[in-house]
Amino acid sequence: MRAPRLRMYQQVYLAVLAALLIVVLITFAFFRLVIHPNTRNTHAYATLAKVVSDALPSLDAPQAAQASVLRQWIERTRADIALYGPDRALIFGGGREILPAPPASQAADGWIRGEGDTYAAVLPDRRWLVIAFKGGENRATFGLALFLIALGVGVGIYPVVRKITRRLEELQHSVAEFGAGNLAARAHITGTDEIGMLARSFNNSAAQLEALVKTQKSLLANASHELRSPLARLQMAVGLLGTGSKRATTEEINQNIRELDQLIGEILLASRLDAAEPARALRLEPIDLNGLLRDECARYDAKFSGEGGQLVGDRVLLQRMVRNLLENAQRYGARAPTEVCASRVDDALVQISVWDRGPGVPPAEMERIFEPFYRLPGTKERDGAVGLGLSLVRSIAEQHRGTAQCTARPGGGAGFVVRLPLNALRDIPHPAA
C-alpha cells in the first residue's frame, strides 16, 4: 500500500525547515571547527601563560604573593586562571570559576582533555598554570540563538507557505471543476503576484473556451435545423418527379442543392474564422480597394462611388464580405439600386458603406442580425437567406481588426458600415498562401 503523498504546503514547509536545519548545522560546525580556540588560539594561550609565569614569584614565595600577581592578570585579561603545585594541589583559583587541575596523564603544555578551551602550562618549577577564556558559554549562547532564530523562522513561515499553497489549491480545484465539465467555473483572484496572474489567465482562457463551445453548439444546432429544410424540400421534389412539371421540379432541386452548397461553404468558413487566432489565418497582400469594390458592384449591378485607396488584407475574404453585403442588399432592397461608397475616415482607416432601400432593420435588431442563423421576424426560408452572411461579414471585419455595424439609411432602408484599418496587419507574419 502506497504511503499517502504529502500535500504541497507540507512539502514546501518541510523543505524550508530542512533548509533551516542545514544552515544551523553548518553555522554551528563552522563556529565549532573554525573559530574554536583549539584550532586557532593555541599560540595565544601559550604566550599568555609564558607572560604570566614570568611575573609569578617562585614556588617558595607566600601564597598570598602568588595570588596577588594572578589577581592582577585576571583583572587585566578577564580570564579564569588557576595555579597548581607540582603535586597538582590548588594554590590559587580565580575568575568566574576555579579551573580544574590537569590530569595526571598530562605531562606537557596543552589543552586539558575534556575541558574544551582550558589550557595548562607547566612552569620550570613544575607548577601548573591553568588558563581559560570561557568560550563554552558563548557557544551555548550562540547555539541557543541559532535555535531560537530557526524556531522563529519556522513558526513565522508556516502561515506564509500555507497562504501561497492554499491559493494554488483553490486554483487547482477550479481547473479540476472546469475539466469535469463545469464551463462556468472560475478561479477566485487575489493578489497581483504570479499566482494572481495565473488565475487571471485561467479565467480568461476559461471564458474564451466557454464562449467558443457555446458558439459551436449554437452553430451546430442551427446548422442541423437549416440543413433539414432544403433536404426535406429535395425529398418532396424527388417524390414529384413522376407527376409532371419536371422542369420546374428539376429547377427546385437545383435551387435547393445550391442553397445546401452555399450553407455548407459558409458554415466551413465561419468555423475556420472562429477557430483561427485573429489575423493569423489570413493570406495578406496589398489590395486596391477601389478595384475590388468596382468589380463586385459590377457583378450585382450596384452603384459605386468614393475613394478607398490601398489596404493590406486577405483578398478572398474581403471579396466574400462585400458579396455578402451586396447579396443582402439585393435580397431585401425592394429591387431598388444598391449603393456602395468608400471613404477615408482618416490616414489609417477606410469605411465601406452599403445602402439599400428595403424595409430597414428595427433598432432593437441591428446587433442581433450579426448572430449566426438569426433572421429578422417575418423573413421566409424561401427568400434564400441562411442567416450566416452578416455573421461572416462581422467575422471577416474583425479578423482584419475592423468593425461592422448596421444603421438606418436616411429616407428609408438599411445601411451596413464596415471600417477597416489600412496597414494594421502589414507587419504580422502569416502562413504562405
Query: Please, which pLDDT band fits residue 417 given cuts at 50, 70 and 90?
Result: very high
As a whole number, the mean pLDDT across the chain is: 79
How far apart, in whole angstroms, are the C-alpha atoms of residue 388 and residue 269?
Answer: 10
Which residue carries 450596384 as its cell?
Answer: 302
pLDDT digits (tens, 9 = 90+) for 342-375: 999 888 899 999 999 988 899 999 999 998 878 7
pLDDT for 354 equals: 95
In CATH, the architecture of 37-133 is 2-Layer Sandwich (3.30)
Query: Please, which pLDDT band fits residue 228 given cuts at 50, 70 and 90?
Result: low
Nearest to 394 by CA among 382, 405, 378: 405
Q: What DSSP line would sit under 233-296, residue for residue?
A: HHHHHHHHGGGS-HHHHHHHHHHHHHHHHHHHHHHHHHHHHHHSPTTTS--EEEEEHHHHHHHH
Q: What Rg, from alpha-carbon coordinates, does the chain have?
A: 47
Q: What DSSP line would sit under 4-69, residue for residue?
A: PPPPHHHHHHHHHHHHHHHHHHHHHHHHHHTS-HHHH-HHHHHHHHHHHHHHSPPTTS-HHHHHHH
How far apart, in whole angstroms, are the C-alpha atoms of residue 77 and residue 392?
Answer: 96
Residues of the chain with CATH 3.30.565.10: 284-421
Q: Is pLDDT at 66 greater than 50 in this prediction? A: yes
How far apart, in whole angstroms, are the C-alpha atoms of residue 339 and residue 297?
Answer: 9
Whether domain 206-275 has CATH 1.10.287.130: the reply is: yes
Residues of the chain with CATH 1.10.287.130: 206-275
Query: Please, which pLDDT band fits residue 111 given cuts at 50, 70 and 90?
Result: confident
Nearest to 109 by CA among 121, 100, 126, 95: 121
How far apart, in whole angstroms, are the C-alpha atoms of residue 226 and residue 238?
Answer: 19
How far apart, in whole angstroms, are the C-alpha atoms of residue 284 and residue 308?
Answer: 18
Q: How many angstroms from the chain centroid is the CA of residue 264?
A: 39
Q: How many angstroms from the chain centroid is the CA of residue 82?
A: 70
How far apart, in whole angstroms, are the C-alpha atoms of residue 427 and residue 280?
Answer: 12
How far apart, in whole angstroms, are the C-alpha atoms of residue 204 and residue 79?
Answer: 72
Return all residues near 231 (Cβ < 8 A) that are at least 6 apart: 256, 260
C-alpha distances in angstroms, 181 versus 171, 205, 221, 431? Answer: 16, 15, 19, 34
pLDDT for 293 equals: 94
Residues of the chain with CATH 3.30.450.20: 37-133
CATH (residue range 284-421): 3.30.565.10
Nearest to 402 by CA among 373, 371, 423, 429: 423
